[in-house]
């Protein structure tokens, strides 16, 4: 019979119909599924310890010969079973209190055994209920000698004896029968250049490694493939973009951009200048721009975006800026209008709540250049942008992959700039945005001071109150932010409202105080914001709607209430609302509840640094990659073997291999790339569709 790796799991010896059913419920339907159901960890039984050197309580492996055995009775007639074994150094007693009927009759004098378990030492060394196996020339030991795989099993699986022991047996028989059916997923050249063993060998060794080194090199081999295929998809998407030609490569900046620049109230930092040059070079090229701009909170991305827009407008095209919240859209609208006032560009605002939407839709189909700023409202079907030249997505980590491409509405030749204030650790950036070019703003506008961060315990209202008052008296501004989560929205909102009422009637209220939350109407929000921006109110109480977008250089104190309830990057974003001018600023993290372990680590990270990249690395460590990016939304794969935080080097290797492969053989038609193509079609077909989207 011809074996096939996609055979039903029942074809594995030792898996009957009942086991098959339950395995299928656990997502293991085929032989492939079984073989890729890999150990979660390993028990180290690589070393044989002489009996004379046994220490109580450690997990040890012994190789010894059966000397005597038999049933004994203890006090109260309790039955137990004893086997005495010996090596050259001493004697060890094995003892069973349960399942004796399975043990009786198993042993004969002179049998050689591998034995492992935890030892105790009464008068002489003893192991209760040990793992044991008969040493045979025919087979490698499965359970008691070597690195012993432990599988993630469940109570239901255990009922059908598929505990780790059971899995070891069926994995071994599956491997024996099917190992030659596992298709190789790389070509010879890549394997050789990166020093990788065949996939079948690596998979065997993942289940039954002989040494730690072998285990690690096998894991790396399998991790390489995972990373390689992600990078391959990115490389393919990138080539697609490269093959597209823009309707028009933008001309170099001219009079309009120059006028725009001279009217700015500050000089660009050299980092900003470098990034603008990179963007302008992209825009002048015939290949559509795909660029990701990273820059910490407050590093000055907005003006860079505006300069990109100015070039598109100058060339007679439209530019769109999409942002995740209405508050931010309104802020940008105000800022852009101010920046563009000297050059007289028409600027539109499109949010879900906007009035006269149909006249905006109408305007966008007209050929004259303009700038449109908006929220998700920009990706509604009704929006149809003619002469669309440039799309910018701010705070892009708040959008899904699909939404990013939706903004281009199928027009892949539009230049696309993504901006993010949540710095992405390099490893993740390479994986997720591997088909984008990067620009980084790595310096702050001059005069910025380190933001001091302090922790204030629950109940210590007085101290916070004093600090707020002090800032108000000094003519500075203060944010007090309350957490808002869906599950307790009413209570959360109430807490913010209560605080507002209380402060309003006290000394702090005399300096002017505002309240801002998502339930307010657009015009109410606008009013509160403009009062704060103009400095008429000194304190702004709000829910987390201000996480992004608010920009007041006078704000020097940020009070985050219920700090234990926020994610790390959110805390960092909030802190970034202050320290935007040249005055010393402060962030107070105020606790309102108990700290979990994870919460404590988040707070510690905040106290330790205000460098966004360091914060992002912390965040990644604390939450792991899946959580960090919200797997589903961002199309981020869950890896079985690769570890995104520690496999940086491997990732770079895989990336180079994938990109150079696609460069030489964009459609994977060369004969030596046959099984790479097959593997891709078989296992990544859903993702392939995605690759077309960009
Ligand atoms: P972010 O990168 O977080 O979007 P913004 O673009 O909002 O940052 O900029 C933060 C603040 O810094 C704004 O008040 C902006 O006007 C100011 N700013 C930006 N660039 C400069 C610069 N080169 N010199 C001085 N201030 C600047
Ligand atoms: Mg910004």
CB atoms within 10 A of CB 470: 12
CATH number of the domain encompassing residue 135: 2.40.50.140
| HSE-up of residue 324 (Cα within 13 Å, Cβ side) | 17
Structural domain for 281, as ranges: 255-285+298-421
Pairing, β 125-128 against β 112-121: antiparallel
CB-based pocket (< 6 A), ligand 1: 266-269, 272, 295, 297-303, 421, 445, 551, 553, 580
> What is the pLDDT averaged over residues 36-44?
89
User: Vertex 480, ends 476 and 483: CA angle to 5°?
Assistant: 160
Within 551-596, where are the H helices? 568-575
The residue whose CA is least distant from atom 4 of ligand 1 is 301
| HSE-up of residue 424 (Cα within 13 Å, Cβ side) | 27
Domain assignment present for 466: yes
The number of angstroms, rounded, from the C-alpha of 630 to the middle of its chain's C-alpha atoms is: 6
Q: What percent of the chain has pLDDT over 90?
A: 50
What's the gap in Å between 548 CA and the centre of ligand 2?
7
Residue pLDDT, tens place only, 13-36: 999 999 999 999 999 999 999 999
CATH number of the domain encompassing residue 313: 3.40.50.300
Of 264, 293, 298, the residue with max ligand 1 atoms within 8 A of its CB, to mutate for a pocket test, comes to 298
Cα torsion through 516, 519, 523, 527, rounded to 10: -10
pTM over 0.75: no
Of 269, 274, 300, 395, the residue with max ligand 1 atoms within 8 A of its CB, to mutate for a pocket test, comes to 300
What's the gap in Å between 490 CA and the centre of ligand 1?
35
What's the gap in Å between 559 CA and the centre of ligand 1?
22
The residue whose CA is least distant from atom 20 of ligand 1 is 300
> Looking at the chain, how many residues does it have?
694
> What is the pLDDT averaged over residues 423-430?
66
Domain assignment present for 416: yes
Nearest to 47 by CA among 157, 168, 212: 212
> What is the pLDDT averaged over residues 107-128?
86
Q: What percent of the chain has pLDDT over 70?
A: 93
Which pLDDT belongs to residue 17?
93
Domain assignment present for 667: yes
Domain assignment present for 324: yes
Instruction: Say whether both 338 and 273 belong to one domain.
Output: yes
Which pLDDT belongs to residue 610?
85
Instruction: Say whether both 414 and 523 belong to one domain.
Output: no
The residue whose CA is least distant from atom 24 of ligand 1 is 445
On average, the pLDDT of the chain sits at 87
Residue pLDDT, tens place only, 346-360: 999 999 877 888 999
Ligand nearest to the CA of 580: 1
Residue 602's φ and ψ, nearest 5 degrees, are: -65, -50
Residue 505 has pLDDT above 70, yes or no: yes
Residue 628 has pLDDT above 60, yes or no: no
What's the gap in Å between 283 CA and the centre of ligand 1?
23
**Measured on CA atoms in the order 175, 181, 185, 187, is the torsion positive or negative?**
positive
Ligand nearest to the CA of 261: 1
Domain boundary among 609, 630, 661: 609
Instruction: Say whether both 280 and 415 belong to one domain.
Output: yes
Domain assignment present for 184: no
CA–CA distance, 91 with 35 (Å, rounded to integer): 40
Residue 292 has pLDDT above 60, yes or no: yes
Which pLDDT belongs to residue 636?
52
Q: Residue 82 class from Cβ within 10 Å (0-12 exposed, 13-18 middle, 19+ buried)?
A: middle
Which pLDDT belongs to residue 581?
80
Domain assignment present for 619: no
Domain boundary among 585, 609, 633: 609
Q: How confident is residue 688, by pLDDT bands cut at 50, 70 and 90? A: low
Instruction: Say whether both 401 and 264 belong to one domain.
Output: yes
Task: Give the count of domains, the chain.
Answer: 4
Domain assignment present for 446: no
> What is the pLDDT averaged over residues 586-599?
91
Of 267, 269, 295, 302, the residue with max ligand 1 atoms within 8 A of its CB, to mutate for a pocket test, comes to 302
The residue whose CA is least distant from atom 26 of ligand 1 is 445
Domain boundary among 609, 630, 662: 609
Give the position, in ligand 1's atom list, of the atom nearest the Cα of 394.
4
Instruction: Say whether both 467 and 540 belong to one domain.
Output: yes
What's the gap in Å between 47 CA and the centre of ligand 1?
61
Residues 6 or more apart whose Cβ sits within 8 Å of residue 572: 297, 422, 606, 610, 612, 615
Ligand nearest to the CA of 394: 2
Give the position, in ligand 1's atom list, of the atom nearest the Cα of 580.
11
Which pLDDT belongs to residue 548?
52
Of 338, 398, 445, 550, the residue with max ligand 1 atoms within 8 A of its CB, to mutate for a pocket test, comes to 445
Instruction: Say whether both 352 and 490 belong to one domain.
Output: no
Q: Residue 6 class from Cβ within 10 Å (0-12 exposed, 13-18 middle, 19+ buried)?
A: exposed
CA–CA distance, 548 with 440 (Å, rounded to integer): 19
Instruction: Say whether both 397 and 468 belong to one domain.
Output: no
CA–CA distance, 519 with 445 (Å, rounded to integer): 34
> What is the pLDDT averaged over residues 426-436?
70
Residue pLDDT, tens place only, 158-191: 889 898 889 999 999 999 999 999 999 999 999 9
Instruction: Say whether both 478 and 402 belong to one domain.
Output: no
Q: How confident is residue 287, by pLDDT bands cut at 50, 70 and 90? A: confident
Pairing, β 112-121 against β 290-295: unpaired
Residue 687 has pLDDT above 80, yes or no: no
Domain assignment present for 347: yes
Residues 6 or more apart whose Cβ sits within 8 Å of residue 522: 326, 330, 351, 353, 354
Q: What is the DSSP string of 278-331?
A: HHHHHHHSSSPPEEEEEE-TTS-HHHHHHHHHHHHHHTT-EEEEE-SSHHHHHH
Instruction: Say whether both 261 and 388 belong to one domain.
Output: yes
Instruction: Count the helix, strand and coil residues of the chain and give each as a percent rounded to the nearest 5.
Output: 45, 20, 35
Instruction: Say whether both 53 and 127 belong to one domain.
Output: yes
Instruction: Say whether both 600 and 680 belong to one domain.
Output: no
Instruction: Say whether both 536 and 594 belong to one domain.
Output: yes
Residue pLDDT, tens place only, 193-209: 999 999 999 999 999 99
């Amino acid at each position: 019979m011809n074996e096939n790796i996609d055979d039903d799991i029942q074809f594995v010896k030792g898996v009957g119909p009942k086991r098959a059913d339950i395995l299928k419920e656990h997502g293991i339907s085929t032989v492939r599924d079984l073989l890729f159901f890999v150990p979660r960890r390993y028990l180290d039984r690589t070393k044989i310890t002489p009996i004379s050197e046994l220490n109580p309580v450690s997990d040890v492996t012994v190789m010894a010969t059966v000397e005597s055995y038999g049933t004994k009775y203890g006090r109260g007639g309790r039955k137990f079973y004893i086997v005495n074994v010996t090596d050259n150094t001493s004697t060890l007693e094995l003892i069973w209190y349960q399942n004796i009927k399975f043990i009786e009759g198993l042993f004969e004098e002179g049998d050689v055994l591998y034995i492992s378990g935890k030892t105790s030492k009464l008068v002489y060394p003893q192991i209760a209920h040990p793992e044991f196996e008969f040493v045979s020339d025919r087979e490698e030991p499965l359970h008691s000698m070597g690195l012993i795989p432990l599988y993630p099993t469940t109570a239901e699986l255990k009922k059908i004896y598929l505990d780790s022991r059971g899995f070891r047996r069926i994995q071994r028989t599956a491997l024996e029968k099917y190992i030659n059916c596992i298709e190789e997923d790389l070509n010879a050249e890549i394997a050789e250049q990166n020093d990788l063993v065949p996939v079948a060998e690596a998979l065997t060794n993942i289940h039954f490694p002989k040494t730690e080194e072998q285990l690690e090199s096998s894991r790396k081999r399998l991790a390489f493939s995972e990373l390689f295929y992600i990078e391959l998809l990115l490389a393919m998407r990138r080539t697609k973009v490269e093959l597209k030609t823009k309707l028009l490569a933008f001309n170099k900046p001219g009079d309009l951009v120059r006028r725009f620049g001279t009217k700015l109230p500050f000089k660009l930092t050299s980092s900003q200048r470098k990034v603008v040059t990179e963007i302008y070079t992209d825009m002048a090229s015939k290949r559509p721009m795909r660029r990701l701009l990273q820059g910490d909170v407050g590093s000055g991305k907005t003006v860079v975006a505006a300069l990109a827009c100015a070039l598109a407008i100058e060339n007679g095209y439209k530019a769109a800026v999409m942002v995740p919240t209405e508050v931010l859209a309104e802020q940008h609208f105000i800022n852009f209008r101010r920046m563009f006032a000297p050059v007289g560009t028409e600027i539109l605002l499109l949010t879900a709540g906007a009035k006269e939407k149909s006249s905006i839709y109408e305007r966008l189909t007209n050929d004259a250049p303009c700038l449109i700023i908006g929220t998700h409202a920009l990706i509604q079907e009704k929006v149809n942008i003619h002469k669309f030249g440039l799309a910018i997505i701010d705070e892009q980590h708040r959008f899904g992959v699909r939404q990013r491409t939706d903004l281009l509405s199928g027009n892949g030749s539009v230049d696309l700039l993504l901006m993010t204030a949540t710095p992405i650790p390099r490893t993740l950036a390479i994986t997720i945005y591997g088909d984008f070019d990067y620009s980084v703003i790595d310096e702050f506008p001059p005069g910025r001071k380190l933001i001091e961060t302090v922790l204030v315990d629950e109940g210590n209202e007085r101290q916070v109150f004093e600090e707020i008052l002090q800032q108000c008296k000094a003519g500075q501004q203060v944010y007090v932010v309350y957490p808002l989560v869906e599950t307790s929205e009413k209570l959360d909102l109430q807490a913010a409202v209560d605080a507002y009422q209380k402060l309003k009637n006290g000394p702090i209220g005399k300096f002017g105080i505002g309240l801002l939350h998502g339930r307010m109407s657009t015009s109410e929000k606008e009013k509160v914001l403009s009062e704060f921006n103009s400095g008429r109110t000194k304190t702004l109480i709000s829910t987390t709607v201000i996480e992004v977008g608010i920009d007041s250089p006078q704000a020097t104190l940020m009070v985050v209430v219920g700090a234990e309830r926020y994610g790390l990057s959110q805390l960092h974003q909030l802190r970034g609302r202050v320290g935007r001018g040249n005055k010393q600023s402060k962030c107070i993290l105020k606790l309102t509840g108990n700290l979990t372990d994870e919460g404590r680590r988040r707070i510690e990270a905040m106290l330790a640094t205000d460098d966004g990249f360091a914060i992002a690395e912390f965040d990644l460590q604390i939450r792991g990659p899946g959580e960090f990016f919200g797997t589903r939304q961002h199309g981020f794969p869950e890896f079985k073997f690769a570890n995104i935080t520690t496999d940086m080097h491997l990732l770079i290797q895989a990336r180079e291999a994938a990109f150079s492969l696609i460069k030489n053989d964009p459609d994977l038609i060369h004969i030596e790339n046959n099984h790479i193509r097959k593997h891709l079609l078989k296992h990544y077909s859903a993702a392939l569709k995605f690759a077309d989207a960009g």
